[in-house]
A and B are shown apart, each in its own frame.
Chain A
Amino acid sequence: MQLAYYPGCTLKTKARNLEEPAVASLEALGFRLEEIDRWNCCGAVYSLADDDLIHQVAPVRNLIRVKEQGNDRVVILCSFCLNALKRANLLMKGDAEKRDTLNRFMDEELDYGGEVKVLHLLEVLRDEIGWENLAAKVEQPLRGLKLAPYYGCTLLRPREVAIDDVENPTVLQEFLGALGATPVFFPESTRCCGSYQVVSNPGDIPGYARDILSSAVMSGAEGLVLTCPLCDYDLGKGQDELVKKEGFKGMPLFYFTQLLALALGLNPGVAHFELNYGSPEAFLRERGLLS
């Protein structure tokens, strides 16, 4: 089965370790992620100013690409891209006046009215493949790995675009369970990683990382599971500082798609663990999951 797929810029540069294992894993599960043609940046941060329509052009244009290429839905891996496209989609569906303004501005494109459904890969795994079916495909269960699912913000907030319960999400726990790992609940799992605030205040990075990572450690986690390249950057950089300056032990950070590929028994090369923070390769070797 074929799924239209929107990657986003970061997955093509810094976060190849999020994309490549996803594409390979979905192939193994009988789905082909078909990258849409001529996509552009998602806009990165959804603009909250009510009349700032120029910053809705980028996400809406991508949705138009999905539609004009004959698709009624699109799958996204990056939480930030998901958030931007989903919210722009709601705007186009629900606000006739702004929809009209945007469609007129993009007079070279098809008119768009929110027809495309925007999905996160976790939703496809949960709702279309199902945890039981996924578990049945697992070749190498991640048995004994105590992993803390970290949602961050953009998968869950605001409520209108959340892929799961805003307060008590379970989708990553269920996902980890299906792969045979032991999900560890920790109180900071939906806390903000610092997002782009760290660009203007780089000194704040270790603070966010300290709160989130120590909460995971104290809950018994051996590794953190992420969905977002920005969370990865903030927490990874922050952890590196904590290790250097505060004697923090450090833990591997994983993208959920890397664990998926590992559990499905794919060639570990597709996971690009060498791009991760927190030396996951040594950890996985120690646990007999990587040779």
Chain B
Amino acid sequence: MSVTKRNEEPAKKAVKESAGAPPVGLTPIYVMGKRYEVPEGLTLMKAIEHAGYKFIRGCGCRGGTCGACGTVYRKPGDYRLQVALACQKTVEPDMHISQIPFFPANRAVFEFDKLTVAPEEVFKLYPELFRCVACNACTKACPQGIEVMDAVSALKQGNIAGAAEIAFECIQCGLCTSRCFGELMQYHMFQLARRIYGARIAPRAEHLAGMTEAIADGRYEEFLDRLQGMSEDELKELYREREIEPVTAGEDWTPEDKAYL
């Protein structure tokens, strides 16, 4: 009983569906089927909070990069299910929204050091890859606009680098997996592809070794010692006087003082 009560608490702000046009500046939305009037321009996440809900999970960075607030919604007169990150999308009139903060997907266990770049590595760890029927529901469900099905196809074709590149901006919200007809675990497969790509396929940054060696040889020691010896005022002065890249600078901009580059 107490559980029901707690869950119903946000309903204090709920208004009847037949309430008619909301006051100016307010937008009607439906959170898990219940109507609320919220200020225009709020993100879905803030609108849900405005309606009285409190996020304990399903809310991470609030900046569109952590993938914790995957949300599905529909609007009247449109059969299509739409997706968004609750922290990024602003409210639209009459949208019915529901967050899907997590979607279960088994992640394969592997010893990364033993993995090679062979396509069969992915096939063995995620054999359900071949259940894909190319329905493209995954792509339609991606709030990042990734061509998810193309990345799945790339994996089937043994093109791990291609999959890693197509799915580079995946934030693992899991909405693709929630919609998959073939019950694939796309977001875990892509993570595997990116890991193999990063460790075994992508070209090494050749300057990195030289740079770490230079640092180990004490390239910045003198400068760091000097910083540590400064007073607070001296540090502030140094910070204020620093050379700043102009807003209009082109890609080839370099500072006057190149001592520490």
Contact = CB atoms under 8 A, between A and B. Distances in A.
Given A13-B119, A41-B156, A61 B136 contact: yes
Contact of B134 (A7, A13, A41, A107): A41
Interface stretch (B1-9, B41-49, B147-155): B147-155
Contacts of A106: 136
A48 interface: no
A58 B181 CA distance: 13
B150 A38 contact: yes
Contacts of A107: 80
A133 interface: no
Given A55-B133, A58-B133, A58-B134, A13 B147 contact: no
Contact of A108 (B119, B130, B132, B136): B136
A54 interface: yes
A105 B135 CA distance: 9
A9 B120 CA distance: 12
A39 to B, nearest CB: 7
Contacts of A55: 133
Interface in A12-60: 12-13, 38-41, 43, 54-55, 57-58
A12 B140 contact: no
Interface residues of B, number: 21
Interface residues on A, range: 10 to 19
B157 interface: yes
Given A12-B157, A13-B119, A54-B181, A40 B140 contact: no
B158 interface: yes
B220 to A, nearest CB: 47
B82 interface: no
Contacts of A7: 157
A69 to B, nearest CB: 14
B159 interface: yes
A58 B189 CA distance: 20
Given A41-B134, A57-B135, A108 B140 contact: yes
Nearest to A54: B133
Q: Which of B130, B136, B158 gathers the greatest number of chain A CB atoms within 10 Å? A: B136
A57 B133 contact: yes
Contacts of B120: 13
A108 B134 CA distance: 13
Nearest to A8: B157
Given A38-B147, A38-B150, A54-B181, A13 B136 contact: no
B181 A40 contact: no
B153 A40 contact: yes
Contacts of A105: 135
Contacts of B80: 107
Given A38-B150, A40-B149, A54-B181, A13 B133 contact: no
B153 A41 contact: yes
Q: Which of A38, A41, A57 gathers the greatest number of chain B CB atoms within 10 Å? A: A41
Nearest to A105: B135
Nearest to A13: B158
Interface string B114-156: 0000011000000000101111100110000001011011001
B211 to A, nearest CB: 37
Given A38-B150, A40-B153, A12 B134 contact: no
A54 B80 CA distance: 18
A156 B144 CA distance: 44
A114 B140 CA distance: 25
A12 B159 contact: yes
Given A12-B158, A13-B119, A13-B158, A54 B153 contact: no
B236 to A, nearest CB: 55
Interface string A151-182: 00000000000000000000000000000000
A59 to B, nearest CB: 9
Contacts of B135: 54, 57, 105
A9 B155 CA distance: 9
A61 B134 contact: yes
B158 to A, nearest CB: 4
Contact of A40 (B119, B134, B159): B134
Interface of A: 7, 9, 12-13, 38-41, 43, 54-55, 57-58, 61, 105-108
25 contacts: A9-B156, A9-B157, A9-B158, A12-B159, A13-B120, A13-B157, A38-B150, A38-B153, A39-B153, A40-B132, A40-B134, A40-B150, A40-B153, A40-B156, A41-B132, A43-B133, A43-B134, A54-B181, A55-B133, A57-B134, A58-B132, A58-B134, A61-B134, A61-B136, A108-B136
Given A12-B157, A61-B136, 7 more contacts: A13-B157, A38-B147, A38-B153, A54-B135, A54-B181, A55-B133, A106-B136
